[in-house]
Structure 1
Amino acid sequence: MNNHWQSVPLGNVLTERREKPSDEKLATGAIRVVSKISFNDGRIQLREDGETKTGMILIRPGDLVVSGINAAKGAIAIYGKDKMEPIAATIHYGSYIPNEGKVDAKYLWWLLRSNTFRDLLNQFVPGGIKTELKAKRLLPIPVPLPDPPEQKRIVARIESLAAKIEEGSRIRYQVTEKVDAVFSAQNERTISNLYERYDKAPLIDLVDQERGISYGVVLTGQPNEEGIPTLRAGDLQQFRVLTTSVKRIDPGIEVKYLRTRLRGNELLLRIRGGLGEVAVCPPEMISGNVSREIAVIPFTERINPTYGMYALSAPYNQGRMTAHIRGTSYVGINLKDVRNLTIPVPKMPEQLEVVRHLDGLRMQVDRMKKLQTETAAELEALLPSILDKAFKGGL
């Protein structure tokens, strides 16, 4: 901390508001109730109803609102002075009136969401960040407090840098979206060209007829550490099978689904729980199985599985699948519609050329996305570093 700054108990600059909302106004919705405070940006989200089974506190415009349970995670907000009506929250929140002559509310908001304050919690509160932060624990905590003009300067500097970080994150997100769009467009052009040049065939005519196209285990039951690894909807993502947390199920359940028992290199298509994700079964899933959210497509030697993956992932075929969506509470595509999907059937050398081309492009996309992910981590680490520097007087 800057040697010229005072260390001041929060109780010197904050006063706990002890008002309670009226039951009538809660019941009629005249006073809205806090649902939660966002960890990332400290925004207050309000409930649609005013029902509650616990005591309530009142929050007025300009108050600093602190979640007693999640303060250390960033659940701290300022209820804006521009608001016309008070709101309410459960007694697991605290509402505090800043002393405007001594403290800038925004300064406190940034401070209480910083690692500097988390360190103070661990130092001055029994149980540290795991303890519910009631007023009797919060208000005695000493915090670094420069004079009001310096507080405002620090806030302005933090907000300027935070805006630049947010802009960097927005650009990073846009780049990631554009990279995905470039691959999708190239995939579409490649597959569309093949539709124009070659005969098409329904998927059902291109698979092992003994196995057909089927979905897997309907009720997977309780996990069994010694059981059969069984892929679920979330295990298929962006042309990959994620095998790090695959559920294992009772062999007595799995044995009833021999048609979908995996032999390797089948095409896997998510038909429920997020339609359209495709991936080729990897070697480590041989002798495993799939749940009902996934259709197993065991191509014959006429079709390279990775070629089939790219053909079904092209926007044209994704659109055809979307057009056949059924259901309301459990949305998906019927196997009959999957079996009738058609793909072009070029000779194997051309299929392999398509795979070579799109694999190469996807590798470039993956490299760019990895770089963007690393950049995102760096951006996320910037703001905590800035806050740490700010509240030590180095900004």
Structure 2
Amino acid sequence: MIGDFALQIDRYEPVESGQVYRMLGMRSKIGGPFIRETKSGSEISAAKLNKVKAGDFIYSRLFAWQGSFGLIPEEMDGCYVSNEFPLYELDTSKVIPEYLVYWFGLPHVQKMVEADCSGSTPGTRNRFKEIFFERLDIELPSIEQQKSIVKSIQLLEQKRSAVIDLRSTVLADAQAMLSSAFHKLIEGAVYKPMSEVAPIVRRQIEITVNGEYPELGARSFGKGIFHKPTLIGAELDWQKLYAVHSGDLVLSNIKAWEGAIAAAGDNDHGRVGSHRYITCVPVEGVTTANFLAFYLLTQEGIEQVQAASPGSADRNRTLAMKRLEKIKVPVPDYDKQLWFNQLQSYVEKIKQAQSENATELEALMPSILDKAFKGELV
């Protein structure tokens, strides 16, 4: 059992109002600890905190079922955690600390942990208490074998990390290129109000009892349009719905200030949006939804949207249609806009390919761990 070589650490200190504390959190999927926030003692409700040291084994009682296990690195030595993050000192004559962390990343081990954290929903799962942790059975090969397994995993993990870093660089470079091209394109361009180049068009639809209405929404921070479940007419009462067409500029009137702005594509044509969504139709031969969406998500553009969305609280920051119509946008040569839209399309394909690659890389880790522990890695 793990309790045979793991000793729980108690370095609790009373919280002092004048002291500053670097507080840790835990990532899922054996991603290890991270510095979550820095707080003064006066901002902390707990009466005491546990001080960590480099090399401590740590896990999250609340999120162990998601694989929140790891080791404290040197740069986090001296940070603090609440009692929801048990700390352990491992007997390194019996176990290599990294070996134990990787062991908790194995799919079948995760199932064992999850079984001890069962609950009706993920939000109400039981904590993975120390007694559960300490009583888990683990077969330990010799220290030399453990070192060999850890080394083989780390070698592949280094290669995987290099690919992830390269992917991030490619995405950053593509976005920088797009931004540079955009700013060159609008140099000297005339700015015109939205009412002239992309007037608001509201296509209210008649709701029938037997009607079905596939809904859409726009994600914040420029993350595009997403599809919601289909609405059933018989289940609607006071709601008003508006049709969205391909080529529309779609804005959430309550979240536009944080980037809920997007261009509707062919897959979005015919879907509906609630009264919270405003659709603008670009004048043919003057501008396009893709170009406008890109501008409104730039620093200059979003500042205009935010200025047109006053309010003292997030939920009260509403973009009124009259204010939207007055926002001025650059209108360079139409053909150049079409060229830029094509460039956006190329970058979007790169992002999609990288996203698929990221999913594959994430799925690769459990396989690496499984083969390593079975001795199948060469």
Distance 1:278 1:357 in 2: 18
1:254 to partner: Cα distance: 2.2
Deviation at 1:43, TM superposition (A): 0.9
What per-residue deviation string (whole Å, max 9, x for no partner) do you get for residues 297-324 of structure 1? 244xx5258x322442455994542443
Q: Call closer, same or farther: CA 1:309–1:142 in 2, change over 3 Å.
A: same
User: 2:174 & 2:337 partners in 1: Cα distance?
Assistant: 19
From 78, 84, 98, give the equivalent of 2:90.
98
For 2:210 and 2:261, the matched residues in 1 are separated by: 27
Distance 2:15 2:175 in 1: 47
Specify the code of the residue in structure 1 equivalent to 2:350: M
Structure 1 position 42, deviation (Å): 0.8
Give structure 1 stretches of 5+ with no counterpart: 1-8, 218-223, 256-260
1:291, CA displacement in angstroms?
4.6
Aligned length, in residue pairs: 351
1:297 is aligned to 280
Residue aligning to 2:68: 75
- Per the alignment, residue 117 of structure 1 pairs with 109
Question: What residue in structure 1 maps to residue 28 of structure 2?
Answer: 39
SS of match in other structure, 2:219? helix
Q: Which amino acid aligns with 2:32?
A: G
The match for 2:46 among 52, 57, 77 is 52
CA RMSD of aligned residues (A): 4.4
SS of equivalent residue, structure 1 residue 382:
helix
Could you say what secondary structure the match of 1:143 adopts?
Answer: coil
- The 3-state SS of whatever aligns with 2:99 is helix
Cα deviation, 1:149-202, whole Å, max 9, x if unaligned, reads: 332333233223222211211111221232233344445555558x3xxx7643
1:202 and 2:193 correspond: yes
> Does the 8 A contact of 1:31 with 1:88 survive in 2?
no
CA contact (8 A) 2:250 2:262 kept: yes
Return the alpha-carbon distance in structure 2 between the equivalents of residues 30 and 345 of structure 1.
56
1:191-223 deviations in Å (ceiling 9; x for gaps): 558x3xxx764332346xxxx548999xxxxxx
8 Å CA contact retained: 1:68, 1:134: yes
Task: Tell me if structure 2 keeps the 8 A contact 1:37–1:43.
Answer: yes
**1:303 partner amino acid:** E
Is the 8 Å Cα contact of residues 36 and 45 (structure 1) preserved in structure 2?
yes
- CA distance in 1 between counterparts of 2:93 and 2:136 reads 20
2:176 aligned counterpart, secondary structure: helix
* Residues 276, 313 of structure 1: 8 Å contact kept: no
2:289 to 297, 309, 327: 309
Aligned to 1:275: 259
Between 145-154 and 378-387, the greater mean CA deviation after superposition: 145-154
Counterpart Cα distance in 1 of 2:249 and 2:363: 39
From the superposition, tell whether residues 235 and 216 of structure 1 become closer, same or farther in structure 2 (CA, over 3 Å). Answer: farther
Q: Secondary structure in 2 aligned to 1:252? A: coil
The corresponding residue for 2:364 is 382
Shift, 1:379, TM fit: 1.6
Q: Is the 8 A contact 1:63 1:95 kept in 2?
A: yes
Q: In the TM superposition, what is the alpha-carbon distance from 1:338 to its structure 2 partner?
A: 4.3
Please give the TM-score of this superposition, normalised by the length of structure 1.
0.69
Deviation per CA, 1:81-127: give whole Å up to 9, x if none.
Answer: 7766574422x44332211222222221222233252255479x696
Q: Among residues 354, 360, 378, which one is paired with 1:372 in the alignment?
A: 354
The answer to whether the aligner puts 1:339 opposite 2:326 as a matched pair is yes
Structure 1 window deviating more from structure 2 (269-278 vs 68-77): it is: 269-278
- Higher relative CO (Cα under 8 Å, sequence separation at least 6) belongs to 1
- Contact 1:269–1:295 (CA<8 Å) still a contact in 2? yes
Taking structure 2 as the reference length, the TM-score comes to: 0.72
Q: CA deviation at 1:233?
A: 4.0
CA separation of 1:341 and 1:375: change in aligned 2, threshold 3 A: same
Rg larger for = 1
- In structure 2, relative to structure 1, the CA distance for the partners of 1:281 and 1:122 (3 Å cut) is closer
Instruction: Report 1:320-359 matches (<5 A).
Output: 320-324=300-304, 325-326=306-307, 327=310, 329-330=313-314, 335-336=322-323, 338-344=325-331, 351=334, 353=335, 357-359=339-341
1:59 CA drift (Å) = 5.4
Q: Is the 8 A contact 2:217 2:227 kept in 1?
A: no
| Matched residue, 1:139 | 134
State the match for 1:168 in structure 2: 163
Match of 1:5 in 2: none
Contact 1:267 1:281 in 2 (8 A): no
Q: Name the amino acid aligned to 1:162.
A: E
Q: Tell me if the contact between 1:201 and 1:345 (Cα under 8 Å) persists in the aligned partners.
A: no
Gaps spanning 5+ residues in structure 2: where? none
* Residue deviations 1:53-105 (CA, integer Å, cap 9, x gap): 9xx78455243222233223221132357766574422x44332211222222
**Matches of 1:146 and 1:70 in 2, distance apart?**
28
